A = this chain, B = another copy of it.
Amino acid sequence: MYTKILEHVSRYIELSHEEKVEFTGILIEKKISKKQFLIQPGDKVVEEFYVVKGCLKAYYLDEMSNKHILQFAIEDWWISDFEAFFNDLPAQLHIECLEDSVLLGIHKDSLDTLYERIPQFERFFRIKTTNAFVSLRSRILSSLQNNSKKRYIEFCEAYPNIEQRVANYHIANYLGIKPESLSRIRKELLRT
Protein backbone atom coordinates (compact mmCIF):
# COMPACT_ATOMS: atom_id res chain seq x y z
CA MET A 1 0.00 0.00 0.00
CA TYR A 2 2.71 2.46 0.98
CA THR A 3 5.43 1.31 -1.41
CA LYS A 4 4.53 3.75 -4.17
CA ILE A 5 4.23 6.84 -2.05
CA LEU A 6 7.50 6.07 -0.24
CA GLU A 7 9.27 5.69 -3.56
CA HIS A 8 7.66 8.93 -4.65
CA VAL A 9 8.86 10.82 -1.56
CA SER A 10 12.32 9.23 -1.75
CA ARG A 11 12.80 10.77 -5.15
CA TYR A 12 13.14 14.13 -3.38
CA ILE A 13 14.29 13.57 0.21
CA GLU A 14 16.03 10.81 2.16
CA LEU A 15 14.22 9.29 5.11
CA SER A 16 15.26 6.86 7.83
CA HIS A 17 13.13 3.81 8.49
CA GLU A 18 11.60 5.48 11.58
CA GLU A 19 10.73 8.59 9.60
CA LYS A 20 9.04 6.48 6.95
CA VAL A 21 6.99 4.75 9.61
CA GLU A 22 6.03 8.06 11.13
CA PHE A 23 5.08 9.43 7.72
CA THR A 24 2.95 6.49 6.64
CA GLY A 25 1.34 6.53 10.07
CA ILE A 26 -0.43 9.78 9.27
CA LEU A 27 -1.72 8.69 5.86
CA ILE A 28 -5.41 7.94 5.57
CA GLU A 29 -6.44 5.41 2.96
CA LYS A 30 -9.50 6.34 0.97
CA LYS A 31 -11.29 4.20 -1.60
CA ILE A 32 -13.71 6.01 -3.81
CA SER A 33 -15.67 4.73 -6.76
CA LYS A 34 -16.36 6.13 -10.20
CA LYS A 35 -18.64 9.19 -10.34
CA GLN A 36 -18.29 9.80 -6.61
CA PHE A 37 -17.05 13.17 -5.40
CA LEU A 38 -13.94 13.53 -3.31
CA ILE A 39 -14.57 17.23 -2.76
CA GLN A 40 -17.50 19.50 -3.54
CA PRO A 41 -17.87 23.28 -3.36
CA GLY A 42 -18.39 24.54 0.16
CA ASP A 43 -16.59 21.59 1.75
CA LYS A 44 -13.95 22.27 4.35
CA VAL A 45 -10.77 20.98 2.73
CA VAL A 46 -8.55 19.46 5.39
CA GLU A 47 -6.71 16.90 3.26
CA GLU A 48 -4.62 16.62 0.16
CA PHE A 49 -4.49 13.30 -1.65
CA TYR A 50 -1.90 11.13 -3.30
CA VAL A 51 -3.32 8.89 -6.04
CA VAL A 52 -2.27 5.26 -5.57
CA LYS A 53 -4.60 4.03 -8.26
CA GLY A 54 -7.32 5.52 -10.44
CA CYS A 55 -8.13 8.74 -12.21
CA LEU A 56 -9.79 11.94 -11.06
CA LYS A 57 -10.58 15.40 -12.36
CA ALA A 58 -10.70 18.73 -10.54
CA TYR A 59 -13.04 21.26 -12.07
CA TYR A 60 -14.75 24.54 -11.46
CA LEU A 61 -18.37 25.14 -12.35
CA ASP A 62 -19.14 28.74 -13.29
CA GLU A 63 -22.42 30.67 -13.02
CA MET A 64 -23.50 29.37 -16.42
CA SER A 65 -22.81 25.81 -15.24
CA ASN A 66 -19.90 25.54 -17.62
CA LYS A 67 -17.34 23.07 -16.40
CA HIS A 68 -13.67 24.07 -16.43
CA ILE A 69 -11.19 21.30 -15.72
CA LEU A 70 -8.12 22.53 -13.88
CA GLN A 71 -6.38 19.27 -13.37
CA PHE A 72 -6.49 15.56 -14.02
CA ALA A 73 -4.79 13.21 -11.59
CA ILE A 74 -3.67 9.66 -12.18
CA GLU A 75 -1.30 7.33 -10.35
CA ASP A 76 1.51 9.14 -8.55
CA TRP A 77 -0.12 12.57 -8.73
CA TRP A 78 -1.42 14.74 -5.90
CA ILE A 79 -4.84 16.32 -5.96
CA SER A 80 -6.95 18.57 -3.78
CA ASP A 81 -8.54 21.98 -3.89
CA PHE A 82 -5.16 23.43 -3.03
CA GLU A 83 -6.33 26.99 -2.75
CA ALA A 84 -8.95 25.99 -0.18
CA PHE A 85 -6.53 23.63 1.53
CA PHE A 86 -3.70 26.12 1.92
CA ASN A 87 -5.76 29.15 2.78
CA ASP A 88 -8.49 27.57 4.93
CA LEU A 89 -11.21 28.60 2.56
CA PRO A 90 -14.32 26.62 1.61
CA ALA A 91 -13.80 24.48 -1.49
CA GLN A 92 -14.58 26.02 -4.87
CA LEU A 93 -13.82 22.94 -6.90
CA HIS A 94 -15.50 19.66 -7.61
CA ILE A 95 -13.13 16.71 -7.51
CA GLU A 96 -14.72 13.71 -9.11
CA CYS A 97 -13.56 10.15 -9.70
CA LEU A 98 -13.44 9.06 -13.33
CA GLU A 99 -12.43 5.51 -12.35
CA ASP A 100 -12.59 3.59 -9.09
CA SER A 101 -9.66 4.99 -7.17
CA VAL A 102 -7.45 4.42 -4.16
CA LEU A 103 -6.04 7.50 -2.47
CA LEU A 104 -3.82 8.34 0.47
CA GLY A 105 -4.89 11.50 2.29
CA ILE A 106 -2.83 13.72 4.55
CA HIS A 107 -4.69 15.85 7.06
CA LYS A 108 -3.69 19.49 7.33
CA ASP A 109 -2.99 19.16 11.05
CA SER A 110 -0.88 16.03 10.56
CA LEU A 111 1.05 17.92 7.93
CA ASP A 112 1.85 20.78 10.30
CA THR A 113 3.03 18.28 12.91
CA LEU A 114 5.04 16.48 10.26
CA TYR A 115 6.81 19.70 9.33
CA GLU A 116 7.77 20.21 13.00
CA ARG A 117 8.98 16.64 13.52
CA ILE A 118 10.64 15.95 10.17
CA PRO A 119 11.65 19.30 8.66
CA GLN A 120 12.66 17.55 5.45
CA PHE A 121 9.00 17.43 4.57
CA GLU A 122 8.93 21.23 4.36
CA ARG A 123 11.43 20.73 1.62
CA PHE A 124 9.52 17.91 -0.01
CA PHE A 125 6.30 19.87 -0.24
CA ARG A 126 8.13 23.01 -1.28
CA ILE A 127 9.60 21.09 -4.20
CA LYS A 128 6.23 19.54 -5.09
CA THR A 129 4.59 22.95 -5.02
CA THR A 130 7.36 24.39 -7.14
CA ASN A 131 6.91 21.67 -9.74
CA ALA A 132 3.18 22.27 -9.77
CA PHE A 133 3.87 25.97 -10.17
CA VAL A 134 6.15 25.35 -13.13
CA SER A 135 3.63 23.14 -14.87
CA LEU A 136 0.86 25.72 -14.40
CA ARG A 137 3.18 28.31 -15.82
CA SER A 138 3.83 26.29 -18.95
CA ARG A 139 0.10 25.74 -19.30
CA ILE A 140 -0.47 29.51 -19.30
CA LEU A 141 2.37 29.96 -21.76
CA SER A 142 0.86 27.34 -24.01
CA SER A 143 -2.55 29.00 -23.90
CA LEU A 144 -1.01 32.35 -24.82
CA GLN A 145 1.16 30.91 -27.52
CA ASN A 146 -0.65 28.05 -29.21
CA ASN A 147 -3.94 27.55 -30.97
CA SER A 148 -6.25 24.72 -29.92
CA LYS A 149 -4.75 22.21 -32.31
CA LYS A 150 -1.26 22.65 -30.95
CA ARG A 151 -2.50 22.53 -27.39
CA TYR A 152 -4.33 19.29 -28.07
CA ILE A 153 -1.17 17.77 -29.55
CA GLU A 154 0.77 18.96 -26.52
CA PHE A 155 -1.83 17.46 -24.24
CA CYS A 156 -1.60 14.10 -25.99
CA GLU A 157 2.17 14.13 -25.72
CA ALA A 158 2.19 15.17 -22.09
CA TYR A 159 -0.52 12.78 -20.92
CA PRO A 160 -0.68 9.85 -23.32
CA ASN A 161 -2.22 7.64 -20.67
CA ILE A 162 -4.92 10.03 -19.62
CA GLU A 163 -5.93 10.55 -23.21
CA GLN A 164 -6.94 6.88 -23.44
CA ARG A 165 -8.77 6.95 -20.15
CA VAL A 166 -10.98 10.01 -20.19
CA ALA A 167 -13.76 11.11 -22.53
CA ASN A 168 -12.99 13.61 -25.27
CA TYR A 169 -15.33 16.20 -23.89
CA HIS A 170 -13.28 16.21 -20.70
CA ILE A 171 -10.18 16.91 -22.73
CA ALA A 172 -11.98 19.64 -24.67
CA ASN A 173 -12.94 21.09 -21.33
CA TYR A 174 -9.41 21.07 -20.07
CA LEU A 175 -8.23 22.75 -23.27
CA GLY A 176 -10.92 25.40 -22.96
CA ILE A 177 -12.71 24.52 -26.20
CA LYS A 178 -16.01 22.81 -27.08
CA PRO A 179 -16.23 19.07 -27.82
CA GLU A 180 -17.37 19.92 -31.36
CA SER A 181 -14.20 21.90 -31.95
CA LEU A 182 -12.04 19.13 -30.54
CA SER A 183 -13.82 16.69 -32.82
CA ARG A 184 -12.99 18.83 -35.84
CA ILE A 185 -9.39 19.16 -34.72
CA ARG A 186 -9.09 15.41 -34.30
CA LYS A 187 -10.57 14.87 -37.74
CA GLU A 188 -8.09 17.26 -39.26
CA LEU A 189 -5.19 15.53 -37.50
CA LEU A 190 -6.26 12.16 -38.92
CA ARG A 191 -6.01 13.48 -42.45
CA THR A 192 -2.35 14.45 -41.99
Instruction: Please report A residues at the B interface, Cβ cutoff 8 Å.
Output: 60, 62, 66, 68, 70, 82-83, 86-87, 115, 119, 122-123, 125-126, 129-130, 132-134, 136-141, 143-145, 176
Contacts and interface: CB of A to CB of B under 8 A. Distances in A.
A144 to B, nearest CB: 4
Contact of A141 (B68, B134, B141): B68
A69 to B, nearest CB: 8
Contacts of A132: 133
**Interface majority SS (helix, strand, loop, mixed), chain A:** helix
B87 A134 contact: yes
A129 B134 CA distance: 10
A115 B144 CA distance: 35
A176 B141 CA distance: 9
10 contacts: A60-B141, A60-B144, A86-B130, A87-B134, A125-B126, A129-B129, A132-B133, A136-B136, A139-B140, A143-B143
User: How many copies of this chain are found per oligomer?
Assistant: 2
B86 A134 contact: yes
Contacts of A136: 133, 136-137, 140
Nearest to A134: B83
Nearest to A119: B119
Contacts of A134: 82-83, 86-87
A13 to B, nearest CB: 12
Given A119-B122, A122-B123, A133-B129, A141 B86 contact: no
A91 to B, nearest CB: 13
B176 A144 contact: yes
A12 to B, nearest CB: 12
A68 B119 contact: no
